[in-house]
Amino acid sequence: MKNDGANIVPYTNPDFDNLPSLELLDKEDLLEIVKKMVSGGISLSFYGKRTAAEIDKRVRPRCTRIQKHLCVGSLEEQSKNIIVEGENLQALVTLYKYKEQVDLIVTDPPYNTGEDFRYNDRWDNDPNDPELGLLVAKEDGSRHTKWMKAMLPRLKMMKSMLKPSGVIAVCIDHRELFHLGMLMNEIFGEDNRLGIINWQKSYAPKNDTGGKSGGISTATEYVLVYAKDIDQSKTELLPRTDAMDARYKNPDKDPKDIWKSGDASAAGASTHPGMVYAIQSPFNGNLYYPPESRHWTFEKKQMTKWLENWGSEYEEVEIKDGKKKALLLAGSTFDKEKGVVTPASILEKARVIAEEKLKAGSWSRLYFGLQGEKGPQIKRYLNDVKKGRVPMTYWADEDFGLPEEIDAQSWNHTESGHSQTGINELDQIMGRGHGFETVKPLKLFKKIIHLWCPPNGLVLDAYAGSGTTGHAVLELNAEVEGSDRQFILIEQGAPEKGDKYAKTLTFERLRRAVTGERPDANGNLKVSAAPLKGGFEYRVLTSRLDGKAILSMRKDELIDVVITSHWEDTRRKSGLIRIESQNYKYLVGKNEANNPYFIIWNGGDAVEAFTSAAYQTIVAEAKKENLVAPYYVYARRFTYHTQNVIPNKIPDKILAHLGLNENSDRFNEDEENGGE
């Protein structure tokens, strides 16, 4: 049996015969296993797990440089969306201002196929190493362990980025499905699992699950969906379809709305015994009961009112059937020998009046079929139905409300699109030859975003790849009125290793989505598609960031750091809008409230103190741009104070916005101690 060091360990019966794996675990891991054995729990254990679980705490933020030539859209549009080029764990740490600000994480990590997953062995000792590492081959006996060691700290960081109401959706195939599920259960909690979506990726059969012996075809892949806190998360309804609405008619010309026939009963007779009784039809005098184990949906008082809308009076009569009193035509009686007795004159009068009302139209809410020949039915109006549908493909009745659990659902290709669709979409916008063969369809990501990200929410993708997530956000914003979602995409980008996605694919796809450019038959770019409104800022992670690095920065570098790291408690998610002008000495940007931001220099690039003279300058610069107080000022020292200025000391405030403390030795090491 091949062993790669990754095991699901049931604590009620640990696999102590697997000594090689157990001997690889350190003392703390073994103690954890023994402690959980007592409670009968289940845990995923693998070599290096404890180290992997602590790596995120050792990762340091990086300097961020804005690549102006790769930014798209107006400065205001750029401030809303971000592409970050860099190692994703370091990028997540650097994006500290977005901690607990993300509504939805939708991401598509490498599937460990032996062709796409890279692992840097140096990460075990130095998670700050920016290199991608080598491709992990199928023959590597520890490839599953390496995959989990890479995913564990990244999933932990992603969880920290989510709002309390946030949701994460992770795409995966059969190779790492079970390992990912165990990791997600451990990090997010099994009780927070919203569902396991099974989506139809292809329709052409192929043997790809059974190894050398062959197997069944993988026509589907999976999306594991977890809430940070299931009690605070919300799943939206999907838009109703024309086919669903077409089932609603108006045969009686009801002025209230179009309707369709609905069941007048509901399950739960044992819990609603007072709502189980006979109803007499005004058309034929027959008695009707709710089906076995069911009860009438509405209270008896309401049912009586609807029955009398057919023109006859009703009254409750004890008919000795073991149920509650029956609703019978007034004048009916019960005889032990004959049962229910309704005089012929009463039956005939009720029938004539009911048929007249049937012909007149605008029937009662409780009716007896189109010709009065059936048992009680309820008119269900379209206006009373939720304006949406639950996120499933297969169901029996579209009218029930949102379920408490989505659980394991299947989405066929009409709901989510095929994987080949994703490739075709990328071919259309990029042309053939991009070399990216694992593209998710836009339809799949748009559906996920619609379900779990509010219209003005923030979406994060830590494995951006070809940029499908960003493209899906832009399309949804264009298609749905009032939608203004934002995105953050992270992609490595390492041309020297052949991983050119960040600049040549992620960026370029999103740029063309915004401009509407597409390649023609000769490969020449022409505007042939509708441009999508929006833009984005392109950032690159550079050297490690600490107090010394900040104080030694040039003016343009420091502006980038301030623009990308600043946040306010009331507007943490919002980015600053850069102001670029050679006419200004200190003014560098503004926020959504039209408040200006200044960085104080002494001539060139040396940070100086904020003085009364500097204050006069910033007031004049703010006036030229029609900006209003308060003024946010970054400086090394403050020798002048006024209520119009909010001081931000350099480097302390910048480090604080990155979750750091300037006085901590951990963030002020020199090169000999691991710095750069």
The pLDDT value recorded for residue 665 is: 38
Angle made by CA atoms 407, 192, 406, in degrees to the nearest 5: 20
What is the identity of the amino acid at 137?
A: A
The CB-side HSE value for 583 (13 A sphere, CA atoms) comes to 7
For 545, the token pair is 């960031």
In the chain, which stretches have pLDDT less than 70? 1-26, 28-30, 32-43, 112-116, 119-126, 129-141, 201-219, 237-244, 385-423, 426, 430, 432-438, 493-500, 603-605, 661-676
Phi, psi of 312 (to 5 degrees): -125, 150
For 584, the token pair is 């200004």
Q: What CA–CA distance (Å, rounded) separates 278 from 264?
A: 13
Burial of 236 (0-12, 13-18, 19+ CB in 10 A): middle
- Considering only CA atoms, give the Rg of the chain: 33
Q: Which residue pairs, CB below 8 angstroms and at least 24 apart, start in 10-15?
A: 10/42, 11/36, 11/37, 11/38, 11/39, 11/40, 11/41, 11/42, 11/43, 12/37, 12/40
What is the identity of the amino acid at 304?
A: T
Q: Are 46 and 517 in contact (CB under 8 A)?
A: no
Residue 34's Cα: distance from chain center in Å? Answer: 36
Burial of 246 (0-12, 13-18, 19+ CB in 10 A): exposed
CATH assignment, 48-238+404-538: 3.40.50.150
The pLDDT value recorded for residue 528 is: 86
Q: Are 155 and 224 in contact (CB under 8 A)?
A: no
Phi/psi class of residue 431: alpha, beta or left (left: φ > 0; alpha: ψ in -120 to 50)?
left
Q: Are 650 and 635 in contact (CB under 8 A)?
A: yes
Q: Are 94 and 541 in contact (CB under 8 A)?
A: yes
The contacts of residue 318 (CB under 8 Å, 6+ apart) are 325, 326, 334
Q: Are 113 and 170 in contact (CB under 8 A)?
A: no
Q: What CA–CA distance (Å, rounded) separates 448 from 440?
A: 12
Q: What CA–CA distance (Å, rounded) separates 467 from 292?
A: 54
Q: Are 635 and 600 in contact (CB under 8 A)?
A: yes
Across 511-530, b (16+ Cβ under 10 Å) vs e yields bbbbeebbbeeeeeeeeeee
Give bridge partners of residue 83 from the DSSP assignment.
Answer: 489, 538
Sketch the domain layout of the chain as residue ranges: 1-47, 48-238+404-538, 242-384, 553-673
What is the identity of the amino acid at 36?
A: K
The pLDDT value recorded for residue 8 is: 42
Phi/psi class of residue 516: alpha, beta or left (left: φ > 0; alpha: ψ in -120 to 50)?
left
Distinct helix (H) and strand (E) counts, the chain: 19, 34
The pLDDT value recorded for residue 553 is: 85
For 330, the token pair is 């007034």
For 626, the token pair is 């029609």
Residue 259, classed as helix, strand or coil, is strand
Sign of CA dihedral 113, 116, 117, 121: positive
